[in-house]
Structure 1
């Protein structure tokens, strides 16, 4: 299976799971506050739909092609004016159209240079970031609603990879790991990964560190919530979902300073 097809399949998995979630809601559930401070559950869905509406039909020629996000505000306003069932129907229509558009593209388009939310990249990377966004936003709603989540599988792995790609920045800039220090992210739970970062002038991922300065032990969903700034770090720390070994001071600081995006 090609990388573009993996991206498409994981996007479709996210959209189907979101459709199941939002299609089950009624009444006051739409007005529950999500893990995104400015948005209710309805606001999250309106955001998810409006971004895909803006991306519909947009294909970059190069990294110089402007993104279409200037259109999002109007789409979002229109989406928020809808009742829940009508918004779910719009989501169905929009996501089905986006899936068809992506399926019709050849691999060259996915490899083509493109602006992305994290700087110059490829169209494929942009779509992988979209997958991360949808995966995370579903959990931004399910958790406050008290609904269960399946936090493993290929879609979850792809979403975590978007955070994984930024571990050097997280360790170096957010945690402030000093030159010569190293860090092991021991991720367990629904997703299992061992990620190592060392600082040699600049923090960057390395294959392995035998005796890291600090090891951060994280449940995978707690790791995602903390790096994305979704929850108070004291909550997973108190629950035993995040702990540390090695340098006590660095570990305690790291566990509370993983946020690099929202």
Structure 2
């Protein structure tokens, strides 16, 4: 295997999730591709189109030349316009066209990964033409594909893989965004400590701390007197942190203790992905 050992977990997680997606959509009849998913504005077809499109970009394929309609309510900024291009260009593709392109893309990406010899620090072209390292690109692909696998599972009522390799990468990716949520977006005061106690298929406890300069950090050490404690299940944590639901919609699945104003501000700002 030529893939750098640091990159192997991301390749394994991507493979696990992309094969799960393929298995989920292979038997779908035409109408099921139009089912609404928790991803704002996107159907099952749209989610799969996004997955295909982003992996085609990892392959270095040219982006489609396509004009977006002006009435897409969920597209409000340039990042979303960039992402939507790969989706909208496939909106009229049939079920066989979708599954065929997905399978072909998986074959090509697997071949690419088998032959990958670059270092994790190698620079590659990311979304919007931003430069990023190969490790960052592969980690985000593993995260993104797992999250969209969960979108599809919700839409198709086929729960599963909440503790898969992709889930563990998603946990780390989402937790990395929590200091910003607490310190910047929710405006927690210096000296605050917020405990996240998550149970279910993935269990963990983390403390987000705000230092004297107002900077946030996160660690696994419990806080004896936190300003806020949030206890929730892993699936709810993911749905909140990925912006799939509002805190009000899942209030019965969240136990809160501590400063009510700060609690409300954190839950209102909980989405890490924008």
Q: Same fold (TM over 0.5)?
A: yes
In structure 1, what is the equivalent of residue 65 of structure 2?
Answer: none
Are 2:250 and 1:250 aligned?
no
**Contact conserved, 2:185 with 2:269, CA < 8 A, in 1?**
yes
**Contact conserved, 1:195 with 1:205, CA < 8 A, in 2?**
yes
* Whole-Å separation in 1 of the counterparts to 2:234 and 2:122: 32
Q: Once the 2 structures are TM-superposed, how far is the Cα of residue 217 of structure 1 from its aligned partner? A: 0.8
* Whole-Å separation in 1 of the counterparts to 2:113 and 2:81: 21
Q: Once the 2 structures are TM-superposed, how far is the Cα of residue 43 of structure 1 from its aligned partner? A: 0.8
Q: TM-score w.r.t. structure 1 length? A: 0.85
In structure 2, what is the equivalent of residue 19 of structure 1?
Answer: 22
Q: Secondary structure at the match of 1:80?
A: coil
Q: Once the 2 structures are TM-superposed, how far is the Cα of residue 77 of structure 1 from its aligned partner? A: 4.4
Tell me the alpha carbon deviations over residues 17-46 of structure 1, each in whole angstroms, 9 at most, x when there is no partner. 000111121132111111122211111111
Alignment length (residue pairs): 249
Q: Secondary structure at the match of 1:99?
A: helix
* Whole-Å separation in 1 of the counterparts to 2:171 and 2:43: 24
Are 2:240 and 1:211 aligned?
no
**118, 121, 124: which is aligned to 1:111?**
121
Q: TM-score w.r.t. structure 2 length? A: 0.82
* Whole-Å separation in 2 of the counterparts to 1:142 and 1:178: 39
Which fold has the larger relative contact order, with Cα–Cα distance below 8 Å and residues 6 or more apart in sequence? 2
Are 2:32 and 1:29 aligned?
yes
In structure 2, what is the equivalent of residue 63 of structure 1?
Answer: none
**31, 52, 55: which is aligned to 1:52?**
55
**Contact conserved, 1:31 with 1:40, CA < 8 A, in 2?**
yes
Q: How do 1:169-208 residues align onto structure 2 when only pairs under 5 Å count?
A: 169-200=180-211, 201=213, 202-208=215-221
* Deviates further, 77-86 or 133-142: 77-86
| Closer, same or farther: CA 40–225 of 1 in aligned 2, 3 Å | same
**Contact conserved, 1:116 with 1:125, CA < 8 A, in 2?**
no
Unaligned runs of 5+ in 2: 62-79
Q: Secondary structure at the match of 2:39?
A: coil
* Deviates further, 199-208 or 17-26: 199-208
In structure 2, what is the equivalent of residue 42 of structure 1?
Answer: 45
